């Protein structure tokens, strides 16, 4: 089954008006700037070099940029610290729209920070367990706004070095509904003249836009892919995720099989457990069967439903989660349970709404 024009994710989402963001420029697009393109790009994408009066560039370069580009970063207007150390952040874009992102430090042997970032204002996918889906789609973020979101978070909350950053496109929006801008942002964030964030530390999560998955598989540099699955029959998945009415589980599995994994590359299979909907041992068996050989080595990440006012779904009882987990392990699956960060400030998976 293929998509039709009636599906909101078939048509491009609206874009922001006004001057393009300078933070969305690739190095080759800065060749005409006064000074070396490498120097200008490096200064634009090193948030630690900003000074209060503006971009850390000479006057000629600043004037060249200001003539054609917007130089503002998304503005952090609210910070909501969680008891677990995460911080939900509200950012205002230049047209007044607002997005949410989450800053999640990890206190491990080599401390790291995971940034959960947004790709759209709202979302067109309509997943019934997700607060952002209740907004509908407002507009895409430009590549410059996506990059600027990252720079604003780093500049305000850290970390002090780019090698300590992990990026997950798991905030507001469906990243593959905005693939052109998302991939351009990844090219910029990955570039060695800038933050140089390895694509092994960039994960893009999708609800299952199969044509865009297939297109992303051919793009370079290529991030790691996470699939939000959340059901094990077409009937159940179509009920909670409207995208499945167009690209069902069989077609989705074909797209994963055709991805062409690089050495060491893995899929992340996200499965939100909804009490009474998708949390039976039979669901666990069907999930293992659907994955086939992918159940070995690829991470199934179980997520307790993060409850919010926009959805009636509840998280499962712990014994149901444990039985689900045990059955997957018995079937040879590599499975983890996500410890959702920021739940107390409505900053966990599925709770972002602005």
* CA–CA distance, 186 with 172 (Å, rounded to integer): 17
Asked whether the beta carbons of 335 and 329 are under 8 A apart, the reply is yes
Residue from 100, 145, 174, 277 carrying the catalytic annotation: 100
Helix, strand or coil, per DSSP, at residue 297: coil
* CA–CA distance, 12 with 9 (Å, rounded to integer): 7
What six digits make up the tokens of 308? 């919010």
Residue from 116, 127, 130, 349 carrying the catalytic annotation: 349
Helix, strand or coil, per DSSP, at residue 100: strand
349 is catalytic: yes
Instruction: Classify residue 24 by its DSSP letter.
Output: G
Closest residue by Cα to residue 146 from 113, 118, 116, 167: 118
* CA–CA distance, 13 with 112 (Å, rounded to integer): 33
Asked whether the beta carbons of 186 and 141 are under 8 A apart, the reply is no
How many angstroms from the chain centroid is the CA of residue 283? Answer: 26
What six digits make up the tokens of 306? 């993060």
Give the helix/strand (H/E) hosting 334: strand 334-337
What six digits make up the tokens of 130? 């997700």
Instruction: Classify residue 293 by its DSSP letter.
Output: G
- What radius of gyration, in Å, describes the C-alpha atoms of the chain? 20
* CA–CA distance, 224 with 262 (Å, rounded to integer): 10
- 17-31: burial string, b at 16+ Cβ within 10 Å, e else: eeeebbbbbebeebe
What six digits make up the tokens of 133? 């889906």
Active site residues: 100, 349
């Amino acid at each position: 089954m293929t998509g039709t024009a009636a599906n909101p994710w078939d048509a491009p989402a609206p874009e922001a008006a006004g001057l393009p963001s300078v933070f969305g420029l690739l190095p080759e697009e800065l060749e005409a700037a006064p000074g070396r393109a490498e120097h200008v790009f490096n200064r634009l994408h090193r948030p630690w070099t900003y000074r209060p009066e503006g971009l850390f560039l000479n006057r000629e370069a600043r004037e060249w940029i200001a003539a054609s580009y917007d130089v503002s970063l998304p503005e952090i207007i609210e910070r909501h610290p969680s008891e677990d150390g995460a911080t939900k952040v509200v950012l205002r874009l230049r047209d007044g729209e607002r997005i949410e992102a989450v800053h999640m430090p990890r206190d491990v042997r080599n401390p790291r920070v995971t940034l959960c970032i947004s790709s759209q204002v709202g979302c067109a996918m309509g997943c019934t367990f997700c607060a952002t889906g209740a907004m509908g789609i407002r507009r895409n973020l430009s590549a410059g706004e996506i990059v600027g979101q990252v720079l604003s978070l780093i500049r305000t909350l850290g970390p002090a070095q780019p090698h300590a950053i992990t990026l997950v496109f798991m905030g507001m929006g469906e990243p593959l509904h905005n693939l052109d801008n998302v991939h351009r942002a990844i090219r910029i964030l990955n570039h060695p003249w800038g933050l140089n964030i390895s694509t092994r530390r960039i994960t893009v999560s999708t609800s299952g836009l199969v044509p865009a998955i297939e297109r992303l598989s051919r793009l370079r540099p290529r991030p790691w892919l996470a699939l939000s699955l959340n059901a094990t029959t077409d009937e159940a998945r179509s009920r909670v995720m409207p995208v499945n009415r167009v690209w069902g589980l069989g077609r989705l599995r074909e797209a994963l099989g055709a991805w062409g994994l690089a050495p060491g590359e893995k899929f992340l299979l996200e499965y939100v457990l909804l009490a009474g909907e998708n949390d039976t041992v039979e669901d666990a068996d069907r999930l293992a069967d659907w994955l086939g050989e992918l159940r070995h080595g690829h991470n199934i990440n179980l997520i307790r439903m993060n409850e919010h006012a926009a959805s009636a779904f509840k998280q499962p009882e712990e014994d149901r989660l444990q039985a689900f987990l045990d059955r997957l392990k018995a079937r040879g699956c590599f499975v983890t349970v996500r410890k959702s960060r920021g739940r107390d400030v409505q900053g966990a998976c599925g709770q972002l709404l602005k």
